[in-house]
Chain A
Amino acid sequence: MAQRWESDFEDDLQAVDLNLAIGTYGQNGIYEDTQPRIDEATLLAVQQQMAQQAAFSVLPDEVKRFVVRFHQAVLDNNLAEITVAYESGWNKLTEKYYAKIEWPEAEVIAPLVNDDSEGPVTLELPEQWLWDIIDEFIYQFQSFCVWRSKVKSKSEEELGLLADAGQVWSSYSVLNVLYSLIQKSRIHEHMAALQEGKSPAEISELVGEYGVRPLYRMLGYFSIIGLLRVHSLLGDFTLALKVMEGVELNQKSPFTRVTACHVTTYYYVGFCYIMLRRYPDAIRTFVSILNFILRMRQYHTRSYQYDQINKTADRMYALYAICNALSPSRLDDNISNIVKERYGEQFSKMSKGSEEGIPAFEELFLYACPKFINANPPPYDDPELLSIYLNDLPTEPAQRHLSLFLSEVRAQAPVPTLRSFLKLYTSLDATKLASFLDADEEEMVQQLMVMKQASRSVSRVENEKGLLDGQTMPTSDLDFVIDENMVHIAESTVGRRYAGWFIRNTEHAQRVFDTVKNSPLPPKSGSAQTQHQPSHREREGGGGGGERGERGERGGDRANASGGQKNAGHNKVAWGGVKVN
């Protein structure tokens, strides 16, 4: 199934010269292998045609209608119709007829569309769909690799297939598809031209006949995100971030138009930063996307991607907990609170820094990490090597990356304890500190150096372009220096934050004001009975104010003039009882 999918994909995009991008290293096997099968295929052709006719006759009418209508929509480039067909029609029919079996082969439905198989050159497709094409492609690759790596559970037949599989789904074949789309669409040139502020005419000349079409442009763009993902899965975290050169990571980037792509991008970027030990960058990445997901929640409940996005978000909360345990920060209270709700127990264990915290790191890392793969298959083609392999199974990729990550965690294990002691002093004798900790003084001084290094991190500065760029910066609120045998400590504190509160309440007051302004005046007789305030106040306020709005306004005036103490009790509606000093 997986293999077939790949070949379909390559057929559909034949015009794109898929094999030219990075060369066909190491995959000669496939092409030699396809030759003898053609004769076999010719022999079976007649039989197949008969079978297809039989299959066609049992197609449900509803499915036939869908295919015809969809075909017409594609011919007309009717994006709205295509989107509906993709997001609801397809899913509905799949559920109804093809939940357990596969959709009919292309040959079976070919008569419905007049055997139309011309190239997709002028086609326009929803961006969501284009993303799904790339996403599914990599998912199939990843799933196949995971399946392939499990030698023990294979049947004889599967072992035979895999022995002959050669370079099927090789890393090279996957990178070739992605790089071909990138090169053909000239997406890098496109992004560079945009950043230089070139005119649309200049850009379309620059990007060529493929690059001007949204279909190829977006496939190229999504292929870059695909590379980020493939390299992450293979454990190459530097290259994963390097291939993102030119892609701007902000809310205006094209990838944000497809939420699933937006979320995937930030997840992998954040994860790579963790593996590069750039925890502040990872935290910033997760905070930005998690806030976005929170804001978008109301719009996405009915989308078929909703579950997937939620699952990825939950994994990012786990990764955020890991980062925050290793590099405590107060970047976003909102996200931190959700993390405490979901992973509070693990977080407090991880924050202690002792060996007891390791299982919590392990648990969250394995839950939240990408589904790592090996670049190469086990030696299925060599029975002798395969039996050696089976007797001494190599460590699974996820376990390998976990143990590397844990070595980083263990290196900074003494930090939280030291930190909790240093927080209590402004200066302290090293010998005394060692005796508090019940530790050897020399060892403790070395741990202090570890603490110092753990409180510095390479971190991206706003105007820097590449995701690998950055400057070494302090990341901790607690700093110290050792003066021979004296430790001097300085702590930075965060001043109280007022802006958020004032902004929220100003916006609230504006909403109240708008509501009141837009409400009809109450009937005269009723108003005379219920109102306590003299009616001339109403006229002064421009005729728009009811009682609630008026109090708020009055309260505001008083507070601004800092003379509102006397009537403070009346002002609760608008001011929430905050002290104005």
Chain B
Amino acid sequence: MVAAAGWVQPETRTEQIENLVSGVDRYNPNNVGILEDYLYRQIRTEEYDCLANLAILKLYQFNPDLYNPDVVINILIKALTSSPFPDFNLCISLLDQRPTIQNTDEPDPLPTLLPILTTLHNLLQQCRFPAFWALYRSENAESLRDNYTVECVGFEDAVRRVVVHAVVGAFRRISSERLASYLHLDVEDVPEYVQKLGWTVDAGGVISLPSNPDNQPVSTVVQENVQLSQLTKIISHAQTA
């Protein structure tokens, strides 16, 4: 069981940010800089705070003048690797109609990158990991890689964590070749990677995963559970009768 508490309020969130996220100051456009700085800290440190990033998008929603496409793209990149949780779509949800202010000197990169980010997100949601890597490594995604994900520390590892999350629940044993294609690693590099996770590799290259509640399916018969509240009418009648 994974608690949502770490998502609602990550440990890395400072008190100042917590006050912004949970208080009425979140609506004050003057605070957008603080939240943007916090986002860039997340980009540099592998931390992640979805609610704080949504607060930035909220300010952009209410104050279109604040809109900064680079910030939006970075927020989406962070949200991408929280799959299978719905963060990416929650962010997109707050991007209202496209901003109408177009600066011709500096064209908005979002309209060209958004379809790629969306497709990458759909591939992760569908656990089509080899297809994800193929698109991510393709020429289409070149500007995404060169201008954005290269700055995002640990982006590829974050994608691999999405993979590991999916594999750990569904498999008891998996072949090195299959896992390598999911992780976008060479087959020879897989043993080293999985050993860090505490997984073991046998001589034939088959990887065994540790038991967890998700990869130990058991057949059960769910028995009926009678609540006292269901019986109050009968018991109180018995008293008055």
Question: Which residues of B are found within 8 Å of A352, using beta-carbon distances?
Answer: none
Instruction: Tell me if B196 counts as interface (CB < 8 A to partner A).
Output: no
Q: Are B29 and A481 in contact (CB under 8 A)?
A: no
Q: Are B234 and A239 in contact (CB under 8 A)?
A: no
Q: Which among B34-42, B82-90, B141-149, B153-161 touches the partner chain?
A: B82-90
Q: Are A26 and B206 in contact (CB under 8 A)?
A: no
Q: Are A236 and B58 in contact (CB under 8 A)?
A: yes
**What is the bound-complex CA distance between A470 and B174, given in angstroms?**
31
Q: Which among B11-19, B70-78, B184-192, B219-227 touches the partner chain?
A: B219-227
Instruction: Tell me if B54 counts as interface (CB < 8 A to partner A).
Output: yes
Q: Are A471 and B4 in contact (CB under 8 A)?
A: yes
**What is the bound-complex CA distance between A507 and B173, given in angstroms?**
54
**What is the bound-complex CA distance between A251 and B111, given in angstroms?**
47
Q: How far is the CB of B198 from chain A (nearest CB, A)?
A: 18
Question: Which residues of B are found within 8 Å of A175, using beta-carbon distances?
Answer: 27
Instruction: Tell me if A171 counts as interface (CB < 8 A to partner B).
Output: yes
Q: Are A411 and B125 in contact (CB under 8 A)?
A: yes
Q: Are B173 and A484 in contact (CB under 8 A)?
A: yes
**What is the bound-complex CA distance between A472 and B173, given in angstroms?**
23
Residue among A400, A484, A489, A495 making CB contact with B206, cutoff 8 Å: A484
Q: Are B127 and A447 in contact (CB under 8 A)?
A: yes
Q: How far is the CB of B51 from chain A (nearest CB, A)?
A: 6
Q: Are B219 and A490 in contact (CB under 8 A)?
A: yes
**What is the bound-complex CA distance between A239 and B23, given in angstroms?**
11
Chain B interface extent, by class? 35 or more
**What is the bound-complex CA distance between A276 and B54, given in angstroms?**
14
Q: Are B169 and A452 in contact (CB under 8 A)?
A: yes
A-B contact count (CB 8 A): 201
Question: Which residues of A are found within 8 Å of B219, using beta-carbon distances?
Answer: 490-493
Question: Which residues of A are found within 8 Å of B84, using beta-carbon distances?
Answer: 453
Residue among B1, B97, B100, B241 making CB contact with A471, cutoff 8 Å: B1
Instruction: Tell me if B104 counts as interface (CB < 8 A to partner A).
Output: no
Q: Are B170 and A482 in contact (CB under 8 A)?
A: yes
Instruction: Tell me if B178 counts as interface (CB < 8 A to partner A).
Output: yes
Q: How far is the CB of B173 from chain A (nearest CB, A)?
A: 5
Residue among B5, B28, B92 making CB contact with A23, cutoff 8 Å: B28
Residue among A25, A26, A404 making CB contact with B89, cutoff 8 Å: A404
Q: Are B54 and A482 in contact (CB under 8 A)?
A: no
**What is the bound-complex CA distance between A201 and B2, given in angstroms?**
41
Cross-chain pairs A/B with CB under 8 angstroms, 24 sampled: A25-B28, A234-B61, A235-B94, A236-B93, A238-B51, A242-B51, A376-B64, A404-B92, A407-B118, A407-B122, A446-B126, A449-B170, A453-B84, A468-B8, A472-B3, A480-B217, A483-B171, A484-B174, A488-B172, A495-B223, A496-B224, A497-B224, A507-B234, A513-B241
* Extra contacts besides A449-B166, A479-B217, A484-B172 (4): CB < 8 Å: A277-B85, A374-B96, A449-B127, A450-B126
Closest 10 CB pairs of A and B: A394-B97, A479-B217, A490-B217, A411-B125, A449-B127, A235-B93, A452-B170, A472-B2, A483-B172, A490-B219
